[in-house]
Amino acid sequence: MKQEIVRYERLGEEYVRVEHPSGLTMLLYPMKGFSTSFAMFSTKYGSIDTCFKTDKDADFLQVPAGIAHYLEHKMFESEDGDAFERYARTGASANAFTSFDKTCYLFACSDHFQDSMEILLDFVTDPYFTKETVEKEQGIIAQEIGMYDDDPGWRVMFNLLESMYQNNTVKVDIAGTVESIAQIDAPLLYRCYNTFYNLHNMVLTVAGNFEVQQVLDAADKILKKAEPVQIERKVEEEPAAVVRKRFVQNLPVAVPMFYIGFKSPNAGEKQNMLNMTMDEMLIDIVTGETTELYRSLYNDGLINDGLAGETMAGRDYLCSMISGESKDPDAVYERVCQAFEQVKANGIEDEIFARVKKATYGRYLGLFSKPESVASAMTNCHFAGIDVYDLVELVANCTKEQLEQRLREDFSSENSTLSIVMA
């Protein structure tokens, strides 16, 4: 078993990285003074992984949209009962989620940590699917899909992704469609499980109040050695251009909701993650609450609750989104695009750069104040091929010139689009 301590002198922080004999990488971050622990057992497998093969397969397999999410639902069941019932006996709070590029199983606890850890490692590595239980789940997930189809906040975002991406499966709802999940059966679930739930494709991140040895003991007890697997994911070439510049869906809302999207060039998984950090800073510089854009939109009555900005990065996609409510979303979209072009032409003001850099640095330092934030950040960074401290270092060393260069490469009005939900 290989163990190393990863230290970050700038913050005086450290964690333990373990390469377990089973093939699982473990990133363990004990935090003194905390009363709770948070653990996340994750696989690099999400909704975008719909066409794949391993080194043992002759051809690619195309699977129905939503199968990663479906598999997550089924993993909690076993011949001996439900994993939630087992957690109830330890007092842990457990959950799971599927995103575009990963599936995560997690728990938080303040007591009985090792027992909860054994439950987590056990049920995620012991699938149990039958024809009857799989068919039963179809109705449950179909109801969930229907619920999201009627959710204005969900639809305005996915309509944006559908407007931006021509081929990339990031445009498809994580849960799939009622039609796609009807094609899922137990053998297909086992095929996806055996491909992606290989321990070499997974990571265990733990943070908070625990002892490293507790995790090692649980892993030694539960995990079996996995054969290394090479997974090849088939990715369609994605053009730079968006599908459409504007899309409107009518749903019952009091005030029109909007999402403005800027489609970024794909630079590969690792660089996309680093570019995401810079793009988040640029959104704040151009659209933040202290900007001229924000003041003018507010004073003209074009926004009420403000603007929310976020950047989404993954294996082969990167985009930035600015959202809010407005009686005239088209006017907001026009002004946002103009504001980005203006900063490109005039450069970033020194005072604004210094303030945003300081705020971003503080936000990233804040990740280390909560066990769940630490574990989540370590998972995201590990799958992107970087260390969690790399993000802090990027912000600490970022220059105005770097951001101006990034701005010239990105936030193109030509590759932007507007999604609106209105009554």
Q: Which domains does the chain have, with CATH numbers?
A: 2-233 (3.30.830.10), 246-422 (3.30.830.10)
- Distance, CA of 369 to CA of 366 (rounded, Å): 5
- Distance, CA of 160 to CA of 418 (rounded, Å): 7
pLDDT value at residue 81? 77
Among the listed residues 4, 72, 85, 269, the single catalytic one is: 72
Q: Is 19 a catalytic residue?
A: no
What is the average per-residue pLDDT within 65-93? 92
Going through 99-156 in order, the beta strands assigned E by DSSP cover 103-109
Beta-carbon contacts of residue 324 (< 8 Å; ≥ 6 apart):
257, 258, 303, 305, 306, 307, 308, 332
Q: Check if the beta carbon of residue 314 is closer than 8 Å to that of residue 269.
A: yes
pLDDT value at residue 275? 96
Q: For the chain, what is the mean pLDDT?
A: 95
**Using 50, 70 and 90 to split pLDDT, how confident is the model at 211?**
very high
Residue 21 is classified by DSSP as T
Beta-carbon contacts of residue 329 (< 8 Å; ≥ 6 apart):
256, 258, 418, 420, 422
Which of 133-147, 209-223, 304-318 shows the highest mean pLDDT? Answer: 209-223
| Least trusted range by pLDDT, from 77-86, 123-132, 265-274 | 77-86
- Distance, CA of 173 to CA of 70 (rounded, Å): 12
Number of Cβ atoms within 10 Å of the Cβ of 241: 10
Q: Check if the beta carbon of residue 264 is closer than 8 Å to that of residue 165.
A: no
Q: Check if the beta carbon of residue 59 is closer than 8 Å to that of residue 53.
A: yes
Beta strands 77-78 and 257-263, pairing class: unpaired
